[in-house]
Structure 1
C-alpha cells in the first residue's frame, strides 16, 4: 500500500510539471500568475499566505505549520482573456502610406493553469517541523495575433512559460510563531516572433547604393523597381526561442498570537535566466540573402523574474466570520528589457519594457455556513508595471480590478473541494510606439486595447 501511495504521488507531480508548462496568459499585472490556490482565487488573494492551504509551500513556507496531517492539494484554473485592438500606423519615410492589416483578432485563448502541492508534518522529535513540495507556474504569458494584422511588425506570438519545483521547510519555535524557507528550481521557456518588413529593408539598401533624390527612392511610385519591392510588399518573420533553468529562494514567517488573528510575511527572490536557443528568419528575399542580419543561428536573451513581497492578515470577528487583507509588491524594475543576441554576442534586437514596481491590494471575507460549507468573496486592485511610452502589443497591460466569489465543501474529514470565479476588469491600455530604426522598427503603431478576463477554478485537498 505504501508503494502504491508513493507511486501515485510521483505520477501526480510529473503530470503537474507537464501541465504547468502549458500555462499561458497572465491574470495578474505584468506576466505574474497568482493561481497557485483556488481558495485564494475566491477571495481575490486576501489573506493569501496565512491560510490552511498547501499552496503556501511556495507562497509562505512558514504557514505549512498550520497543518497537522499529510495533505495533497491540486488546483486547476482556467484563464479566459478577451481583448480587442483599434488603431493603425504609418511606414517609415512614407507618412501617406498607412500600415495595412486588421485588428489582429483576439490575442488570448482559454488557458489551463495547474498547480500541485504536498505538505508533510513530522512527528516525534521533529513534531515542530513541516516539510513541503510543490509544482506551479508563478509567471506566464501568451498573446498570439493573426499573421497579417496591423501591428505585426511589433508582435505576432509572445509565449513565456515558467514552472517551479519548490522544496520547503517550516519550523515552529513557539505556539504563536513559525518561520520557513524554500528552495526554488525554475525552468523558463520563451518564444517571441514578429513580422519583418523586408520591403522597407530593400528600399533602405537601395537608397544607400544610389544617389539620393525623389526619383531614386522606393517611396516614389516612379522608382525603377516599384512595385516589386516597396514598404509592406515582402513580409517575412523572425522567431527567437530559448529556455533555461535557474534557482531562487523564498522566506516567510507567520505570527498567530491567538485564534482570532494571524499575520504573515514572505519574500520571493529574483531569478535570473540566460535563455539559450535559436534565431529563425523566414521569407527573406533573394536581394537580402547575403545580409548577415537575417541569417539563422544560435542565440538567446536574458530574462529576470521579479522579487515579490507579500503581507497578509486575517481576523475572526466570530467563529464563523473572518475578514482578510493582502498587500503585495512586485519588483518589476529588474526587467528593464529583453535584448536578443546571437551566440557571438551580436545584438539582433531589443524589446524595451522600462517597467516600474507595482503594488497589489485586496480585502476579502469568509463565512462558515456550517461545518461542511464555507462561502468567500473578495475585491482587489492591481497596478500595472507598464507605461504609455513603452507599452507594446506583446503585453497590452494596464491597471485592473479583481472581483471574486468562491466556496469550500468539506466532503469528509479527509476530503475538501473548492471552487471559485474571478472577473478582472482592465483599464483600456493605449499603444503609442514611434519609429525606432536602430531596433528594427520601421513603422509607428498607435491605438487602444479593450478587454477583460474571466477565471474559473476548482481544487481538491486530501488529508491522511
Structure 2
C-alpha cells in the first residue's frame, strides 16, 4: 500500500465531504416551502395558503411581511403564533460505491420529525403629532429545517442529520401618507446556525488510493468498502443585517393592493469540522492524515431576497378574496465555498438553483361577529432540479391546500387555528456523494402543518 496515495485519496474525501455537507445543509428544506424557506409566521396566512400576506387586516405578522400594512391596526396589538410542521417522506432506490459495487443499508426511515415554528409580533399605533405613524417588532424564523435519516441507510454518504435555524428580529415603522396609501420600512437582524452530518466511505477511498484497486477485494487488506466508515460533523453560525420595504394602496373601498421586498442577508458562517469513527482502521486514517483532522472552517451564505405582491377584494362586508404572487431569488445561492482560517479553499460546490414563484388564492367569510372561516390553495415551485437534487433536499413542486378559522373570544382577545396539507410531486434523485458513491432513487412525500395563534388588542 502506498501511503501517499492513501493520503491523497483521503484529502479528496475531506474536501468534498465538507463542501457537499455544508451545501446540502443550507439547501435542504422541511418540505413545506420552496428550498428551506419558512412562511409560517402567521396562522391567519396559513389558513389562506399564504394569500393576502401584504394586505392582511388585524394581523400583527405584517411587521415582517409588509410594514406598510401595520396602519391597518388601530390599537396596540400583541400576537403569538405557533405552527407544527410534520414531514413524511419515503425513499425507494439504491446505488453503487466508487467501485461500482452495490451500496448497502436501509431506506433511511422517515427523515422528517414534527418541528415547531414559533413567531411573535407587536404593533403600536402612535398618537398626537405622530398619529399617522405605526411601529412594530417581530421575532420569526424565515428559513430553517430539521431532518435526520438512519445512520446506516443507503444514502448515509450524502446525508444523515441536517439542522438549520435562522431567527429574525424585525423592527418596522409605517407612515399613512394618505387615507388610501401607506409606506413602511424595517430593519432585520438575522441569526443563522447550521449543524449537519454525513458518513465518509474511508474504506473505499483508502483501497482505491492505495494504487492497486484490487486491494478493495483482498481480504487481507485492512480497509474494505463500506466497512470503515467515518462521520463528519460540520457546524457554523453567524449574524447578519437586512431590510424590508413595503407599500399598501387602496384604490377603492373594496380593493387593497400590497407590495413588499425583503432583502438578501449575507452571512459568513464560522465553526468547526469534526471527524470521528468507531472503526479502528478508519481511526488510523483520521489520526495520520492532516486532511481529515478536526479544525475551524468558514463558509459564506446569502439568504435570498423575497418580493411579494398581494391583492384583497371585498365582495361584501362578510366575504373577502385574496391572492399572492411571491418571487424568491434563490440565484443568490449559486455555490458554497469553504475556507480555512488562513484563507485557503477547502472546496467549491455549485447549487445551480433557480428563482421560484409562489401563486396563492384564498378567501375569508365572517359567519358572525365571533367566527371567521378561511381557506386557500397555492402552487409553490422548487428551486432545485434533476441534475442538482440531493437527499438533503428531496424537493419538488408543491400543491398546497389549507383551512383556518378565527374565534373572537372578546373585543380584546381572538384565537386562530389552521391546517395545511402539502402534496409533493414524486422526486427523483441521481447524485454523487462525497465518497464518490452514487445514490439513485425516488422520494414520495407530503407534509401536514398545524397552527394555533392568539392575539390581544389593548
| Distance of 2:274 and 2:342 partners within structure 1 | 16
Matches within 5 A, 1:187-206: 187-206=191-210
Aligned match for 2:363, one of 355, 362, 365? 365
Instruction: Give the corresponding residue for 2:42.
Output: 37
CA distance in 2: counterparts of 1:350 and 1:231, whole angstroms: 26
What SS does the corresponding residue of 1:289 show, helix, strand or coil? Answer: helix
Unaligned runs of 5+ in 2: 1-28
The aligned counterpart of 1:261 is 255
**1:169 and 2:173 equivalent?**
yes
Candidates 224, 227, 239, aligned match of 1:230: 224
1:69-84 equivalences in 2 (<5 Å)? 69-84=75-90
Deviation at 1:342, TM superposition (A): 2.4
Secondary structure at the residue paired with 2:51?
coil
Distance 2:104 2:345 in 1: 29
Secondary structure of 2:452 counterpart: strand
2:215 corresponds in structure 1 to: 218
Alignment check: 8 A CA contact 2:262 2:307 kept? yes
Q: 1:279 to 1:386 in 2, by over 3 A?
A: same
- What do the CA deviations read for 1:389-409 (whole angstroms, capped 9, x no partner)? 010111111100100000111
When the two chains are superposed, the root-mean-square deviation of aligned CA atoms in Å is 1.4
Q: Secondary structure at the match of 2:135?
A: strand
Contact kept? 1:26, 1:32, Cα under 8 Å:
no
Cα separation, partners in 2 of 1:426 and 1:224, compared to 1, 3 Å: closer
State the alpha-carbon separation in 2 of the partners of residues 285 and 190 from structure 1. 26
Cα shift at 1:300:
2.2
Secondary structure at the aligned position of 2:288 is classed as: coil
Q: Do the aligned partners of residues 224 and 106 (structure 1) sit closer, same or farther apart at CA in structure 2, a change above 3 Å counting?
A: closer
Offset of 1:351 from its aligned partner?
A: 4.7
Q: 2:396 aligns with which of 395, 398, 401?
A: 398
Bigger RCO (CA 8 Å, 6+ sep): 2
Counterpart residue number, 2:13: none
Report the alpha carbon displacement of residue 350 of structure 1 after superposing the two structures with TM. Answer: 4.5
Q: Is residue 293–residue 348 contact of structure 1 (8 Å, CA) maintained in 2? A: no
Q: What runs of 5+ residues in structure 1 fail to find an aligned partner?
A: 1-23
Judge conservation of contact 1:77–1:113 (CA < 8 Å) in 2.
yes
1:39-438 equivalences under 5 Å are 39-52=44-57, 53-92=59-98, 94-95=99-100, 97-207=101-211, 212=212, 217-219=214-216, 221=217, 223=218, 225-226=220-221, 228-283=222-277, 284-434=282-432
Q: How has the CA–CA distance of structure 1 residues 287 and 279 changed in structure 2, closer, same or farther, with 3 Å as cutoff?
A: closer
Structure 1 residues 193 and 337: alpha-carbon distance in aligned structure 2, compared to 1, 3 A threshold: farther
Q: Is the 8 A contact 1:240 1:300 kept in 2?
A: no
Runs (4+) of structure 1 exceeding 6 A deviation are none
TM-score (norm 1): 0.89
SS where residue 204 of structure 2 aligns? helix
Matched position secondary structure for 1:153: coil
Contact 1:26 1:139 in 2 (8 A): no
Question: Residue deviations 1:148-200, cap 9 Å, x none?
Answer: 00001111111110000000000011000000000000000001211011101
2:435 is aligned with 1:441: yes
Counterparts of 1:177 and 1:44, CA distance in 2? 26
Please give the per-residue CA displacement for 1:35-91, whole angstroms capped at 9, x wherever unaligned. Answer: 010000001011111012100101100000001100000000000000011111111
Corresponding position of 1:4: none
- Quick one: distance in 2 between partners of 1:47 and 1:441? 46
What number of residue pairs does the alignment pair up?
425
1:174-233 superposed Cα distances (whole Å, 9 cap, x missing partner) = 0000000000000000012110111012113311xxxx5xxx6223x3x3733x312111
Contact 1:26 1:140 in 2 (8 A): no
Aligned partners of 1:350, 1:371: CA distance in 2, in Å? Answer: 58
**Distance in 2 between the 1:363 and 1:354 partners?**
29
Question: TM-score normalized by structure 2?
Answer: 0.90
The alpha-carbon distance between structure 1 residues 460 and 414, as it changes in their structure 2 partners (threshold 3 A), is same
